[in-house]
Amino acid sequence: MLTFAAVAAAGLISGCSSLPFVGDDDREVNRAAQLEVPPAFSGPAAGGSVALPEIASARAEAMAREEESGVLATGTDIEVAGEPGSRYLVVGTDPDTVWPKLQGFLRDEGYSIRRLEPNVGLIETDWTGVASNEGPGFSIMRILKIAQDTLFKPDSIEKVRLRIEQGEGENETLVFVTGQKRELTGDEPLVPGDESTTFEYSKSADSSALTAETMSRLAAYLSGGSAEESRAMVGAKFQARSKVISGDEPEDRYIEVAQSYPRAWNRLGLALDRLGFDPVSRDREDGEIEVKHSYPQALYEGIVMRGVTVDRDAEMTLHLSLEVMPRRDGGTDVRIEKINVAGGTLPKDRAVILSRINAELE
């Protein structure tokens, strides 16, 4: 049955060029994602930033070409760290080994890789079902769902982001998983070839269910264990502790995390991922993080402020610089160093951003 399914899927793929709603741009992206051999990783540079060379070692490059199995070497530890809603995997091997496995996992899951950015350790898939950009046509992402997506419109579309960082030792890699979904809001039926047919989906939102399921599958993929064991591991209970500290001035506000610097740093990175921020630069040694957000209005979803409004249609970009510093009592403080909004204004931006980040850290 598996052989038949594979042949059938191959036949469907070969026929995609004749589908009127599959754009040329999408086919170019998919081919590049399948053929590209990624750079490998090494540890952070002496300055502490997570900028990584194109080829870290010949051994890692060879592994990327030769190892087809996703299972890591026997005895490799895989653990779950973090708090509910902000968990991540701690893998007991170096990033050189983990990086190609992550891409293999996404391919095995049927995703098309849209972004591959080794300088910040980021892999992001395209939206499953249809393309999320404004280009013409539709892009079908999961091989075994092609027939369904051709005849029916999906109730929701989804994408996955994986990000890795060097752990505390050379043989430790941190893997952060973020899943997002967009719900169908349009109600017109799909008629292939009918240009008047439209699909409308809501703004992307973090999906804790998709994140947990993807993390479970990834843990099983890397360890060779069962999905049930991995789900139990990801579902372990943790206690979260963080709060926003107010001051006399808005600039005095900051987040106080009752956890050590390494854990707070890792959880903060994942919180920013899930809030929709894209990494720009990270310096763990100096505690500096720079990120940007291409639709910062999303941070105001569900927030009611009297007398102020947010322009949902404006094309804004938010650039944010954060300072992460350890405290003498063993905790960690997170402060906003700089906020820059291009293309518009955001009311009470500092308070809203800190509130959103703290909600992820709690």
Task: Give the whole-angstrom CA distance, residue 289 versus residue 322.
Answer: 5
Residue among 231, 241, 318 at smallest CA distance from 275: 318
Using one digit for the tens of pLDDT, what is the confidence trace for 228-251?
677 777 765 445 578 999 988 888
- CA atoms 214, 219, 222, 228: torsion sign: negative
Do 225 and 247 fall within a single domain? no
Task: Give the whole-angstrom CA distance, residue 126 versus residue 161.
Answer: 9
Do 60 and 202 fall within a single domain? yes
């010949």: which residue's tokens?
Answer: 58
DSSP H or E segment with residue 13: helix 2-14
Q: Check: pTM over 0.85? Answer yes or no.
A: no
Tell me, what CATH number does 277's domain have?
3.30.310.170
Residue among 45, 71, 40 at smallest CA distance from 224: 71
Do 113 and 84 fall within a single domain? yes
Do 104 and 124 fall within a single domain? yes
Do 225 and 244 fall within a single domain? no
Tokens of 301: 């979803």
Do 57 and 196 fall within a single domain? yes
**Distances from the Cα of 165 to the Cα of 7, 174, 257, 269, angstroms:** 38, 5, 21, 10
Do 251 and 303 fall within a single domain? yes
Using one digit for the tens of pLDDT, what is the confidence trace for 256-299?
998 888 878 888 998 899 899 999 999 989 999 999 999 999 99
Give me the domain span that covers residue 185.
2-233
Task: Give the whole-angstrom CA distance, residue 314 versus residue 168.
Answer: 41
Q: Please give the backbone phi and psi of residue 88, each rounded to the nearest 5 degrees, phi first.
A: -150, 165
Given 210, 233, 256, which residue is the final one in a domain? 233
Do 125 and 202 fall within a single domain? yes
Mean pLDDT of all residues in 175-194: 73
Task: Count Cβ atoms below 10 Å from residue 127 Cβ, excluding itself.
Answer: 23
* Number of independent structural domains in the chain: 2
Tokens of 211: 């994140």
Given 180, 199, 233, which residue is the final one in a domain? 233
Given 215, 233, 251, which residue is the final one in a domain? 233
Task: Count Cβ atoms below 10 Å from residue 343 Cβ, excluding itself.
Answer: 11
Do 184 and 117 fall within a single domain? yes
Task: Give the whole-angstrom CA distance, residue 346 versus residue 357.
Answer: 16
In the DSSP assignment, the letter for residue 353 is: H
Do 96 and 141 fall within a single domain? yes
Do 228 and 327 fall within a single domain? no
Q: Which of 16-20, 57-61, 247-251 has the highest mean pLDDT?
A: 247-251
**pLDDT score of 184 more than 50:** yes
Do 283 and 220 fall within a single domain? no
Cα 186 to the center of its chain, rounded Å = 26
Task: Count Cβ atoms below 10 Å from residue 248 Cβ, excluding itself.
Answer: 6
Q: Which of 34-43, 201-210, 274-283 has the highest mean pLDDT?
A: 274-283
